[in-house]
Amino acid sequence: MEIIPADRYTFEQLTEAYNQTRVDYLIPMPMNVARLREYAHVYDIDLSCSCVAVQNTVMLGLGMLGVREGRAWITRLGVLPSGRRKGVANAIMTELIAQAEKRDLEAVWLEVIAGNAPAHKLFHKFGFRETRDLIVARRPPNPDTAVPPKNIKRVTALDHEEAIILLSHRRKRPNWLNDTESLQNTRNLSALLVELNDGGRGWITYHAGLLQLTRILVEVTAGDPVSVTAACLNVLHQRHKRQDAKTENIFDDEQWPGFQKAGYIESFRRIEMVKKLK
């Protein structure tokens, strides 16, 4: 088996191999070439640090490494059916961690889908430890949001750069998917500042696509976390009545009931893990 830098392959080759690793995965999440290119851009994937496991020119598996100041992120790790039970995942993990160590980074992060016991066991073997649960949730279009929420005093719309300023002042450390760097790399982000009649305040950032709202994040700056979160979400969905909504890697904290109150349903959970290098 050889471990080859991923930048020696085209995005077409990497996409085909990745999709083959997910044919029987717990949650498939297939990609096309355009989506993988965007993914690499948004999450600062360094293909020279990422790798492909090969035997006799046949790709057996791959893993990608996002690199930012002081930290790295392992993602898109997968083994093709033909490479299972051959030590491929171990070889890829060893190489990705070695690449992070070469760059003198402080920590490596990753997420594992809750219930994926083999992957969870593998990451424990390499010294990763759990930090927190992350929720992936969806909300279908709801005609009830045609009526504006009654407890809203003022709503102020903001553009992409103003949204990034808000995101850079979050009180809790964001996950890699929702890091300020990730969202800065996303095009056409929007935000709403929401003030309630009872003095509650908060803001919401999001990306409005033709059919779906994504990148949905809420920060409460004053008032009850549940009611302010629900109010921010209801304002958003009153303005975008026809779009499906998806939010990824939000925290299982005091705001999650506000998402549920606004009609969000948990799809699945990821477990965030970290390996300290220093």
User: One-letter amino acid identity for 17?
Assistant: A
- 147, 253: one domain: yes
Average pLDDT over residues 45-67: 96
Tokens at residue 58, please? 């046949």
- 147, 263: one domain: yes
User: CA–CA separation, 110 vs 78, rounded Å?
Assistant: 13
User: CA–CA separation, 138 vs 248, rounded Å?
Assistant: 9
Domain stop point among 90, 105, 120: 105
User: CA–CA separation, 97 vs 111, rounded Å?
Assistant: 15
Residue 114 domain-assigned? no
| CATH number of 173's domain | 3.40.630
Residue 153 domain-assigned? yes
- 241, 157: one domain: yes
- 74, 142: one domain: no
Domain housing 238:
137-269
| CATH number of 22's domain | 3.40.630.30
- 16, 65: one domain: yes
Domain stop point among 62, 86, 105: 105
- 216, 170: one domain: yes
Tens-digit pLDDT profile for residues 151-197 = 899 999 999 999 999 999 999 999 999 999 999 999 899 999 999 99
Residue 127 domain-assigned? no
Q: For residue 147, is pLDDT > 70? A: no
Q: What is the pTM of this model?
A: 0.93
pLDDT given at position 146: 60
- 144, 262: one domain: yes
Tens-digit pLDDT profile for residues 224-273 = 999 999 999 999 999 998 899 999 999 999 999 999 999 999 999 999 99
Residue 201 domain-assigned? yes
6-14 CB contacts, 8 Å cutoff, 24+ apart:
6/47, 6/48, 6/50, 6/51, 6/52, 6/62, 6/64, 7/47, 7/48, 7/50, 8/52, 9/52, 11/36, 11/37, 11/40, 13/59, 14/52, 14/62
Residue 163 domain-assigned? yes
Residue 119 domain-assigned? no
- 97, 159: one domain: no
- 141, 69: one domain: no
User: CA–CA separation, 45 vs 65, rounded Å?
Assistant: 6
Residue 226 domain-assigned? yes
Task: Give the chain as a 3 state SS string.
Answer: CEEEEHHHCCHHHHHHHHHHHCCCCCCCCCCCHHHHHHHHHHCCECCCCCEEEEECCEEEEEEEEEEECCEEEEEEEEECHHHCCCCHHHHHHHHHHHHHHHCCCCEEEEEEECCCHHHHHHHHHCCCEEEEEEEEEEECCCHHHHCCCCCEEEEEEECHHHHHHHHCCCCCCCCHHHCHHHHHCCCCEEEEEEEECCCCEEEEEEEECCCEEEEEEEEEEECCHHHHHHHHHHHHHHHCCCCEEEEEEEECCCCHHHHHHCCCEEEEEEEEEEEECC
Least confident of 40-49, 80-89, 118-127, 161-170: 80-89
User: CA–CA separation, 11 vs 126, rounded Å?
Assistant: 28
Residue labelled with tokens 């696509």: 209
Domain count, the chain: 2
Tokens at residue 196, please? 């309630």
pLDDT given at position 217: 98
Residue 122 domain-assigned? no
In which band, very low, low, confident or very high, does the pLDDT at 142 lie, cut at 50, 70 and 90?
confident
- 97, 172: one domain: no
Yes or no: say if 133 and 269 are a contact pair by the CB < 8 Å rule.
Answer: yes
- 150, 252: one domain: yes
